[in-house]
Structure 1
Amino acid sequence: MQTKILRHKYYELLKADFTSFIGKSFITVNPGTKFLYNWHIELISEILQEVAQGKIKRLVINMPPRYLKSLCVSVAWPAWLLGHNPTQRIMVASYSQLLSNKHSLDCRIVMLSKWYRELFPETILRYDQNTKYKFATNHGGFRFATSINGTNTGEGGNVLIVDDPHNFMHINSIKQRNKVIEWFEQGFISRLDDKNTGSIVLVMQRFHENDLAGYLLKKNSCSRYYLKIPAITHQKTYISVGKLNIIREEGSILHTKREDKIQLNIIKNELGEYSFAAQYQQMPINTMGNMIKAEWIKRYKEIPIGGKIIQSWDTAIKAGRNNNYTVCSTWMLDKNNYYLIDICRVRVEYPDLKKLVEALAGRWKAELILIEDKASGQSLLQDFKREGKLPLMAIRPVGDKITRFASCSIMFELGRVFLPLESKWLTELEYELLSFPITNYDDQIDSISQFLSYIKNHIYNGTKFKIRML
Structure 2
Amino acid sequence: MLTVQDIAEQTLCEEDHLYFTRRFFKPRMGFKFMVNWHHVYVAWLIDEVINGNIPNLVINVPPGAGKTELTTNIMPRGLALNPRSRFLYLSYSKSLVEDVSATARNIVKSDDFQHLWPTTISNSTDSKSSWKTKVDGYEAGHIYAASLGGQITGRRAGTLADQGFTGCIILDDPLKPEDAFSKVGRDNANRVILNTVSSRRARSDTPIIMIMQRLHVEDPTHFLMSGNVSGEWQQVAIPALIDDRYIDELPEHIQKLVPRDIERDEKGRQSYWPQKETLKSLLQLERGGTNKEGATVSRYTFSSQYQQAPKKLGGDLIKGEWFGRYKDVPQLVFRAIYVDTAQKVKEENDWSVFTLMGLGVDGKIYILDILRGKWTAPDLNRNAQAFIDKHKVYTPLSRPIRYMKVEDKAHGTQLIQNLGTYGGVPCIPVQRGTDKLSRFMDVQVHLEHDYANNPDDRLVMIPMSAPWIADFLEECEAFNAKMTHDHDDQVDTLIDGIEDMVMTVNYQPPATG
TM-score when normalising by structure 1: 0.56
Hey, what's the Cα distance between the residues in 2 that align with 1:231 and 1:182? 29
Residue aligned with 2:20, SS: helix
Hey, what's the Cα distance between the residues in 2 that align with 1:146 and 1:241? 34
Q: Is the contact made by 2:37 and 2:254 (CA closer than 8 Å) also made in structure 1?
A: no
Report deviation, 1:127: 2.2
Classify 1:25/1:247 alpha carbon distance in 2 versus 1 (closer, same or farther; 3 Å). closer
Q: Is the contact made by 2:75 and 2:143 (CA closer than 8 Å) also made in structure 1?
A: yes
Q: Is the contact made by 2:55 and 2:231 (CA closer than 8 Å) also made in structure 1?
A: no
Match status 1:264 vs 2:282: yes
Match of 2:207 among 199, 222, 244: 199
Report deviation, 1:218: 3.0
Match status 1:114 vs 2:111: yes
Match of 2:303 among 242, 261, 277: 277
Match of 1:57 among 55, 71, 77: 55
Residue aligned with 2:241, SS: coil
Which residue number in structure 1 is paired with residue 273 of structure 2?
255
Hey, what's the Cα distance between the residues in 1 that align with 2:235 and 2:54? 10
Classify 1:184/1:19 alpha carbon distance in 2 versus 1 (closer, same or farther; 3 Å). same
Residue aligned with 2:170, SS: strand
Report deviation, 1:265: 2.5
Deviations 1:95-116 (A, max 9, x none): 0222111110111111111111
Deviations 1:272-300 (A, max 9, x none): 211011111111113459xxxxxxxxxxx
Deviations 1:429-459 (A, max 9, x none): xxxxxxx9x9xxxxxxxxxxxxxxxxxxxxx
Hey, what's the Cα distance between the residues in 2 that align with 1:61 and 1:104? 20
Which residue number in structure 2 is paired with residue 190 of structure 1?
199
Residue aligned with 2:157, SS: coil
Classify 1:34/1:55 alpha carbon distance in 2 versus 1 (closer, same or farther; 3 Å). closer
Deviations 1:394-436 (A, max 9, x none): xxxxxxxxxxxxxxxxxxxxxxxxxxxxxxxxxxxxxxxxxx9
Residue aligned with 2:281, SS: helix
Deviations 1:49-90 (A, max 9, x none): 1111111111100001111111101x1111111111111111
Residue aligned with 1:198, SS: coil
Residue aligned with 1:138, SS: strand
Hey, what's the Cα distance between the residues in 2 that align with 1:129 and 1:64? 35
Q: Is the contact made by 1:277 and 1:283 (CA closer than 8 Å) also made in structure 2?
A: yes
Report deviation, 1:27: 2.5
Residue aligned with 1:236, SS: helix
Match status 1:16 vs 2:27: no
Report deviation, 1:26: 2.7
Hey, what's the Cα distance between the residues in 1 that align with 2:275 and 2:253? 25
Hey, what's the Cα distance between the residues in 2 that align with 1:190 and 1:96? 21
Hey, what's the Cα distance between the residues in 2 that align with 1:209 and 1:131? 37
The range that moved more, 153-162 or 218-227, is 218-227
TM-score when normalising by structure 2: 0.52
Report deviation, 1:14: 3.1
Tell me which amino acid in the other structure corresponds to 1:224. W
Match status 1:160 vs 2:194: no
Report deviation, 1:36: 0.8
Tell me which amino acid in the other structure corresponds to 2:147. S
Hey, what's the Cα distance between the residues in 1 that align with 2:274 and 2:181? 31
Q: Is the contact made by 2:60 and 2:236 (CA closer than 8 Å) also made in structure 1?
A: yes
Tell me which amino acid in the other structure corresponds to 1:59. L
Report deviation, 1:240: 5.0
Pairwise CA RMSD: 2.9
1:334-345 paired onto structure 2 within 5 Å: none
Report deviation, 1:4: 6.7
Counting aligned pairs with the same residue, the percent is 26
Classify 1:68/1:138 alpha carbon distance in 2 versus 1 (closer, same or farther; 3 Å). same
Hey, what's the Cα distance between the residues in 2 that align with 1:89 and 1:262? 43
Which residue number in structure 1 is paired with residue 132 of structure 2?
136
Classify 1:87/1:241 alpha carbon distance in 2 versus 1 (closer, same or farther; 3 Å). farther
Hey, what's the Cα distance between the residues in 1 that align with 2:224 and 2:81? 30
Tell me which amino acid in the other structure corresponds to 1:125. I
Tell me which amino acid in the other structure corresponds to 2:122. R
Match status 1:42 vs 2:27: no
Which residue number in structure 1 is paired with residue 226 of structure 2?
218
Tell me which amino acid in the other structure corresponds to 1:69. K
Hey, what's the Cα distance between the residues in 2 that align with 1:148 and 1:25? 28
Report deviation, 1:17: 2.5
Q: Is the contact made by 2:13 and 2:77 (CA closer than 8 Å) also made in structure 1?
A: no
Equivalences, count? 287
Classify 1:7/1:192 alpha carbon distance in 2 versus 1 (closer, same or farther; 3 Å). closer
Report deviation, 1:244: 4.9
Tell me which amino acid in the other structure corresponds to 1:99. L
Hey, what's the Cα distance between the residues in 2 that align with 1:256 and 1:153? 43
Classify 1:137/1:36 alpha carbon distance in 2 versus 1 (closer, same or farther; 3 Å). same
Q: Is the contact made by 1:15 and 1:119 (CA closer than 8 Å) also made in structure 2?
A: no
Which residue number in structure 1 is paired with residue 312 of structure 2?
286
Report deviation, 1:124: 2.4
Classify 1:222/1:6 alpha carbon distance in 2 versus 1 (closer, same or farther; 3 Å). closer
Which residue number in structure 2 is paired with residue 174 of structure 1?
183
1:415-426 paired onto structure 2 within 5 Å: none
Match status 1:148 vs 2:148: yes
Residue aligned with 1:132, SS: coil
Tell me which amino acid in the other structure corresponds to 2:127. T
Tell me which amino acid in the other structure corresponds to 2:221. A
Classify 1:218/1:136 alpha carbon distance in 2 versus 1 (closer, same or farther; 3 Å). same
1:332-411 paired onto structure 2 within 5 Å: none
Classify 1:172/1:45 alpha carbon distance in 2 versus 1 (closer, same or farther; 3 Å). same
Q: Is the contact made by 1:61 and 1:203 (CA closer than 8 Å) also made in structure 2?
A: yes
